[in-house]
């Protein structure tokens, strides 16, 4: 895997963010996982045109200041960012909620696993598809 691939993660729960970091480093060593404590920080980073864009954005659905769903809408409205895949992680599998996720423009809505090994496998599958199989315009 190339060391220049970056993924942005917006997760306001520090213990969850730590688990994502550990699991990501195990399944894709060298991946640059940049963690933001909220969607506002992530959106601010994306607006900095001097920074390279990530290949993938993962957000918790229930972030404090701006929800992952609202942030996905903002990202998908921006022509410079719209092709970046956005994945929303949630504890909810409710049909209306999932519909809201996809209506926001999110490319996928995934249920957060309760067990670490399941999280590890979910990240391996997610990174495998979105970072290797999927192709984006450069």
- 133 near 111, Cβ under 8 Å? no
**pLDDT digit of tens for each residue in the chain (138 aa)?**
445 799 999 999 999 999 999 999 999 998 999 999 999 999 999 999 999 999 999 999 888 889 999 999 999 999 999 999 999 998 877 778 788 889 999 999 999 999 999 999 999 999 999 999 988 887
Helix (H, G, I), strand (E, B) or coil at 18: helix
Evaluate whether residue 31 is within a structural domain: yes
Whole-prediction pTM: 0.92
Total domain count, the chain: 1
Evaluate whether residue 138 is within a structural domain: no
Select from 21, 16, 73, 74 the least CA-distant residue to 44: 74
Evaluate whether residue 24 is within a structural domain: yes
Evaluate whether residue 95 is within a structural domain: yes
Evaluate whether residue 18 is within a structural domain: yes
Boundaries of domain holding 111:
6-133
Q: Kindly list the distances between the CA atom of residue 60 and the CA atoms of 64, 114, 124, 136, in Å, as whole numbers in the listed order.
A: 10, 14, 18, 23
Evaluate whether residue 1 is within a structural domain: no
Q: Any idea which residue has 């410079």 for tokens?
A: 80
CATH number, position 37: 3.40.50.2300
């Amino acid at each position: 895997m190339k060391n220049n691939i970056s993924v942005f993660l917006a997760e306001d729960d520090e213990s969850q963010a730590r688990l994502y970091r550990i699991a990501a480093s195990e399944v894709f060593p060298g991946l640059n996982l940049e963690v933001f404590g909220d969607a506002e920080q992530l959106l601010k980073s994306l607006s900095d045109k001097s920074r390279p864009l990530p290949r993938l954005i993962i957000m918790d659905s229930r972030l404090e200041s701006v929800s992952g769903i609202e942030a996905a809408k903002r990202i998908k409205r921006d022509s410079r960012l719209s092709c970046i895949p956005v994945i929303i992680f949630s504890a909810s599998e409710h049909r209306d909620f999932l519909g809201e996720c996809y209506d926001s423009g999110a490319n996928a809505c995934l249920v957060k696993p309760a067990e670490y090994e399941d999280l590890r496998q979910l990240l391996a599958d997610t990174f495998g598809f979105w970072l290797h199989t999927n192709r984006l315009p450069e």
